[in-house]
Structure 1
Amino acid sequence: MCGIAGFIDVKKTRDVDSLRAHLKVMTDSLRHRGPDGDGSWVQDHVALGHRRLAIVDLSDSGRQPMVSSSGRYVIIFNGEIYNFQDIRAELESRGVRFKGASDTEVMLESFEVWGVEESLRRFAGMFACALYDLKDRVLHLFRDRLGKKPLYFGYAGDDFAFASELKSFFALPGFAAVEEEQARHLFIRHNFIPAPWSIYKGVFKLPQAHSLCLHLDDLAATRNAADFLRRAVPYWDRQGLSSQPVAMKTEKETLEELDALLQLATCQRMIADVPLGAFLSGGIDSSLTVALMQKQSPRPVKTFSIGFSEASHNESEYARAVARHLGTDHTEFTVTPEEARSVIPHLPDIYDEPFADASQIPTWHVCRLARQQVTVALSGDGGDEGFGGYNRYLLARYVFPAFSVVPLALRQSLERWQTLTGHQNARRLLEVCGAADPSDFYRRIFSYWQDTSLVLQQGAAPDIALPDYQGSIVRHMMMADTAFYLPDDILVKVDRASMAVSLETRAPLLDHRVLEFAWTLPDHMRIKNGKGKWILRRLLARYVPDELFERPKRGFGVPLGAWLRGPLAPWMQDLLGYEPLRQQGLFRPAIVQTMVSQHLAGSHDWSYRLWGLLMYQSWHRRWMVKPDVSHKIARTG
């Protein structure tokens, strides 16, 4: 993994030295993503910059920006192409000769032989890239199928800019940093900001599996980045793949094919010229990932887990048991409450825009732990979305059909009782019971505020486009998660937390070939006997005894409610006090103060809503009151 940044001086008013100076500030802000070196390329008023985290081919032949053999293309690339060795062999059979051993060079020569669109379809990996075509004067931006690697673009005054993280935009003198009101509402509703929005007006996230082609003349004709967003086209038909006929295979046939696919995906993700390990929580997904790694490794795999002194949130014993069974080289660290909370002041710098998935705290800590010994860590991300693991899928399969027979008007009248209960889960259940259809059911599950105008004084949240209905509510929700929750919550959380400590993470279960296979499975191979991820459970049982992983699903969380009533209470009252909120003029102080008081008193659990408000206020103080581009990411301990 690396960090990329660049811009085009649309009016052509600056000399090369000025362009390089601004580019250097952009890339310096991404040093945490690439501490092993930097590079720049400036020509035609196009500036491309790169920060390198060296993983494959540590020599100078892997440095970026990199120019293709013909001199036509220049690339800056963040990520990994896992099947690059197979593609390289095919290119060599066509007479292509390589100078080094990097996947970046393989990408460039693929573009030379097959063009951009065909090459993207051949790549299996995670990537965010900017590719400049000197012959046609065209800039290509593209992002991997699942959205593992981030890519923002927009205007900063007269510059068209793009970068891995928003902080890089502050390096350009024309960047206005005006908050996008609709993005604020979306964040308050979901606790994250879904693509294509960003928190800043006129700056967008390129959606997953999309490419954007811009001629330099196009940039001179308009200053509206939203016009360019509408030109972005998908190169992977996720919707079509998910609606293909269900495969009629036996469980044994399914297990054999899935085992082979995951072994391939895992093997390709173990290619690295630096130390490599894995996260291990003891759950199904991480245990299966480690089991497949250990099967293919000649030495014990380095595994990492963290525990908490609070017994209610400590699962380290399960990870320890799986590690012992598989024979890994296991490192475990118990985080004290004080250590766990130490990262909170740094979250606005790590995430750049409001982000409020509280598991961002333990994710950062396990990344920091792993980085002390390895540069690459495999994770179990993707098992829930691909194989039906979330508890909400059980709710959708067993509960939604039952309450759907009740007249909608009656269910919506029951929904009004949610304001009277202090229990968070009971309140959420009452909220979703008023859903009119499967898409409404999904939106309600992911809305901490059904009506954001109850807490925000101005504006409203825009509608989110969800995938078409997929034949069953479980398939529909899995596809919606893949398009919405996965790229904009889970993958954002892991990317920023890992990159803050210069750690590359890889997820075999998110290989697009594995997901395409998963979408052919019938629902009963995902959910059976009241349990999700049925087929993954059966596959894991080949490597790990059932008793080591069969237990109720728990998230990777922290005791947030108790922290907000205890040691974090003064911080919460400072950020969410009535007078600061009144002066700020964004939120309704009385509503917020009621929630704070009820939570402190213990009559209600408003953890998720309050965490969202706190993360917004923390971001606002950091970036809207006194922004700068020093961006020193914490590396405590």
Structure 2
Amino acid sequence: MCGITGFMGGKLAKAEERAAVLTAMADRIRHRGPDDGDVWCDPDALVGFGHRRLAIVDLSPAGHQPMKAASGRYIIAYNGEIYNHLALREALEQAGAAPQWRGHSDTETLLAGIDAWGIDATLRRAVGMFAIALWDRQTRVLTLARDRIGEKPLYYGWQGTAGARSFLFGSELKALHAHPAFEKRIDRDALCVYMRHNNVPGEHSIYQGIRKLLPGHLLEVAPHRPERVLRSYWSGAQAALQGAREPFAGSADEAVDALERLLRDAVRQQMMGDVPLGAFLSGGVDSSTVVALMQAQSSQPVRTFSIGFHDDVYNEAEHAKAVAAHLGTDHTELYVTAEQAMAVIPRLPTLYDEPFADSSQIPTYLVSELARRRVTVSLSGDAGDELFCGYNRYQITASLWRRLSAVPSSVRSAAAWLLTRVSPRSLNRLAASHPGAARWANIGEKIHKGAGVMAAGSPAELYLGMVSQWQNPGDIVVGGVEPATMLTGAAPELDGLGEVERMMALDLLTYLPDDILTKVDRAAMGTSLETRVPFLDHRVVEFAWKLPLDYKLRQEGASYTTKWILRQVLYRHVPRTLIERPKMGFGVPIDSWLRGPLRDWAEDLLSEQRLRREGMLNPTPIRRKWQEHLSGQRNWQHPLWCVLMFQAWLANETAFESTLAERAA
């Protein structure tokens, strides 16, 4: 796991100037690779790479990057892991295409594969996560590549004036800041879509002219051909459609057996490395499955990590401890106070580089920091919900649409108005008296959110409303126009999928890379910890899409069991009594913090005078929600956190620019 950066073109004519800029760019992402770093410049072209190394496989200088191919044709700067690289080496050797190996790093394997098979074929053979920059000294073409699902980030874009245009790229935006051509102009349209989704999704970035490379894509650009050539080598949408066309034909028991074999192999491959390794453990289905399969293949107790909170609503540590005790792991837990959790907030703008407002970023950082004290690599259970239908919103949305579509929209609108006349707090109190109260946690907020989308004209529109933080973000971003995304008019072709599967596919393409994987990558790499996600082995992903929906979301009596097949795998290793309980999010009580210890901080960022002076956001709807939240009339923690994380990021950017100006003076 590392950090990469670089540039092509521009006016840095002297070799020492190019090296200095590359060093500065790489130093901005030193946290991604504190063990080693270097830069490389092509003496015959204005092309340079910077690299920061977190040494995981082959700790010797033979794993040093940027790395030159044995043929001398290619130079690579690479971030990630190729879990099957030893199998790729064997294939190269059998074909007589292997070089004289200098070490045992997967970077060297990648280069040898590219030399022999080309980059497209090599990536299709590879099982792993990665962001790659590759310079072909023969064709003078720069190629960028990103892994299939989007575990590793990669930003890029042309910056600067016509006479000094530079193509910049990097694992994080902060690396681009160090290049003299970087323009740093906020994209108000991207800010609109951020306010809807609490992240800057898809190809967008918060800066004009800078994009993210989409998962499963390659990009080519050259000094003589500055227009980007973008192509896909793997598609999540196609994996979903292919699975629907060619479903698994075996029995449910056979499917459970097949899934366990695949997951066991994925976990085994991801346990490779020359450094201490462990796993996050929440005690839920996903992380418990990963840890169980790790422990089943380890001769030593697996190191596991969890954090706890003294608020029972947010605390999963006791469940994790019970699972760890049953499996016999070497378990470490840390109970953190609200003060310790809130102390992370000032670091968030720097960690995430652009506005990001999933508040579970706070505990994710804390558990990463805990794990890094003992290990360099940690496996996680992320993506189980998206692949095996773990989110209740899938079934709720589909069920709700079946009912709503039978009612005229005018009647639905009137019903929504009536539902919102009762406060969420009153609805919660009413639900608390119900015999099945545990199933109705925060039902008041859910009813109010559902009421806001009752007039939806399609399942897609209904789902968009369910996952939106601000329903009309164009109303709060001054001068911004919301661009189309996969959820707002630019959806991929998903005909052939049912309503639930379509929502799962869209989450695989959007929510997973844009929110979940972004959150984990930045939080973990902020502590120099590598994270690995066995569920995102593309063989597991493709198999999951072949499974009938009933193997994932199974109706048992009057209720539904989510992630049914994954649970069956887990119950072979862990008693169901340790797992069966209502789903709990990995969060913190932002709602009460904003009314209490964070109130002054938030009031400063949300003050009407400040918002008007900055000229980015319309204060009227923001102030209305803030007052309703403070009064307890509504819980607006999520849309307010979106605004607060942007405001904190903007303040951090302004402070950083002021510091640079003072140093220059």
TM-score w.r.t. the length of structure 2 is: 0.91
The aligned residue for residue 459 of structure 1 is 480
Letter in 1 for 2:528: S
The aligned residue for residue 54 of structure 1 is 55
Residues 477 and 616 in structure 2, CA contact (< 8 A), matched pair in contact too: yes
Partner secondary structure for residue 311 of structure 1: coil
The aligned residue for residue 656 of structure 2 is 626
* Partner Cα distance (1:412, 1:516) in 2: 40
How far 1:579 sits from its partner (Å)?
A: 1.1
Instruction: Identify if the C-alpha distance between structure 1 residues 495 and 628 changes in structure 2 by more than 3 Å, giving closer, same or farther.
Output: farther
- Unpaired runs of 5+ in structure 2? 425-443, 661-665
598-607 or 237-246, larger mean C-alpha shift: 237-246
The aligned residue for residue 635 of structure 1 is none
The Cα offsets for residues 499-546 of structure 1, whole Å up to 9 and x where unpaired, read as 000000001011110010000011101101312101001111100001
Instruction: Identify if the C-alpha distance between structure 1 residues 419 and 509 changes in structure 2 by more than 3 Å, giving closer, same or farther.
Output: same
Letter in 1 for 2:159: A
Partner secondary structure for residue 233 of structure 1: strand
The aligned residue for residue 274 of structure 2 is 273
1:203 aligns with 2:195: no
The aligned residue for residue 137 of structure 1 is 140
* Partner Cα distance (1:241, 1:585) in 2: 44
Give runs of aligned pairs for residues 328-477 of structure 1, distance below 5 A. 328-415=329-416, 420=421, 421-422=423-424, 423-464=444-485, 465-469=490-494, 470-477=496-503
The sequence identity of aligned pairs, in percent, is 47
The aligned residue for residue 174 of structure 2 is 167
Give runs of aligned pairs for residues 36-435 of structure 1, distance below 5 A. 36-43=35-42, 44-95=45-96, 96=98, 97-157=100-160, 158-219=165-226, 228=228, 231-244=229-242, 245=245, 246-415=247-416, 420=421, 421-422=423-424, 423-435=444-456
Residues 33 and 502 in structure 1, CA contact (< 8 A), matched pair in contact too: yes
Residues 237 and 509 in structure 2, CA contact (< 8 A), matched pair in contact too: no
The aligned residue for residue 552 of structure 2 is 526
Partner secondary structure for residue 247 of structure 1: coil
1:606 aligns with 2:604: no
193-202 or 427-436, larger mean C-alpha shift: 427-436
The aligned residue for residue 9 of structure 2 is 9
The Cα offsets for residues 240-280 of structure 1, whole Å up to 9 and x where unpaired, read as 22113222221111011101100100000000100000000
Give runs of aligned pairs for residues 24-43 of structure 1, distance below 5 A. 24-43=23-42
Residues 467 and 479 in structure 1, CA contact (< 8 A), matched pair in contact too: no
* Partner Cα distance (2:24, 2:541) in 1: 39
How far 1:551 sits from its partner (Å)?
A: 0.9
How far 1:624 sits from its partner (Å)?
A: 4.0
Partner secondary structure for residue 102 of structure 2: coil
* Partner Cα distance (2:265, 2:92) in 1: 21
Residues 418 and 431 in structure 1, CA contact (< 8 A), matched pair in contact too: no
The aligned residue for residue 565 of structure 1 is 595
Partner secondary structure for residue 456 of structure 2: coil
* Partner Cα distance (1:549, 1:538) in 2: 11
Residues 280 and 319 in structure 1, CA contact (< 8 A), matched pair in contact too: yes
Partner residue of 1:483 out of 509, 513, 527:
509
The Cα offsets for residues 333-357 of structure 1, whole Å up to 9 and x where unpaired, read as 0000000111100100000000000
* Partner Cα distance (2:418, 2:483) in 1: 26
The Cα offsets for residues 56-82 of structure 1, whole Å up to 9 and x where unpaired, read as 000000010000010000000000001
Instruction: Identify if the C-alpha distance between structure 1 residues 617 and 419 changes in structure 2 by more than 3 Å, giving closer, same or farther.
Output: farther
Residues 34 and 52 in structure 1, CA contact (< 8 A), matched pair in contact too: yes
Partner secondary structure for residue 268 of structure 1: helix
The aligned residue for residue 523 of structure 2 is 497
Residues 468 and 476 in structure 1, CA contact (< 8 A), matched pair in contact too: no
How far 1:172 sits from its partner (Å)?
A: 1.0
The aligned residue for residue 580 of structure 2 is 550
How far 1:368 sits from its partner (Å)?
A: 0.2
Letter in 1 for 2:93: E
Partner secondary structure for residue 224 of structure 2: helix
The Cα offsets for residues 466-489 of structure 1, whole Å up to 9 and x where unpaired, read as 233342111101110010000000
The aligned residue for residue 591 of structure 1 is 621
268-277 or 95-104, larger mean C-alpha shift: 95-104
Instruction: Identify if the C-alpha distance between structure 1 residues 416 and 135 changes in structure 2 by more than 3 Å, giving closer, same or farther.
Output: farther
How far 1:629 sits from its partner (Å)?
A: 9.2
Partner secondary structure for residue 490 of structure 1: helix
606-615 or 402-411, larger mean C-alpha shift: 402-411
Residues 275 and 376 in structure 1, CA contact (< 8 A), matched pair in contact too: yes
How far 1:419 sits from its partner (Å)?
A: 6.2
The Cα offsets for residues 302-337 of structure 1, whole Å up to 9 and x where unpaired, read as 000000011211111100000000000000000000
356-365 or 553-562, larger mean C-alpha shift: 553-562
* Partner Cα distance (1:237, 1:279) in 2: 28
- The size of the alignment, in residue pairs, is 620
Residues 29 and 629 in structure 1, CA contact (< 8 A), matched pair in contact too: no
Partner secondary structure for residue 22 of structure 2: helix
How far 1:391 sits from its partner (Å)?
A: 1.2
The aligned residue for residue 224 of structure 1 is none
* Partner Cα distance (1:590, 1:197) in 2: 27
Residues 424 and 606 in structure 1, CA contact (< 8 A), matched pair in contact too: no
Partner secondary structure for residue 74 of structure 1: strand
The Cα offsets for residues 176-199 of structure 1, whole Å up to 9 and x where unpaired, read as 100001111011111111020000
- Unpaired runs of 5+ in structure 1? 220-226, 631-637
Aligned-residue CA RMSD (Å): 1.5
Instruction: Identify if the C-alpha distance between structure 1 residues 457 and 416 changes in structure 2 by more than 3 Å, giving closer, same or farther.
Output: farther
Instruction: Identify if the C-alpha distance between structure 1 residues 380 and 552 changes in structure 2 by more than 3 Å, giving closer, same or farther.
Output: same
* Partner Cα distance (2:279, 2:95) in 1: 37
Instruction: Identify if the C-alpha distance between structure 1 residues 580 and 41 changes in structure 2 by more than 3 Å, giving closer, same or farther.
Output: same
TM-score w.r.t. the length of structure 1 is: 0.95
Letter in 1 for 2:172: E
* Partner Cα distance (1:606, 1:300) in 2: 43
* Partner Cα distance (1:585, 1:416) in 2: 33
Residues 387 and 544 in structure 2, CA contact (< 8 A), matched pair in contact too: yes
Letter in 1 for 2:126: F
* Partner Cα distance (1:546, 1:397) in 2: 28
The Cα offsets for residues 552-584 of structure 1, whole Å up to 9 and x where unpaired, read as 111100011011111000000010011111212
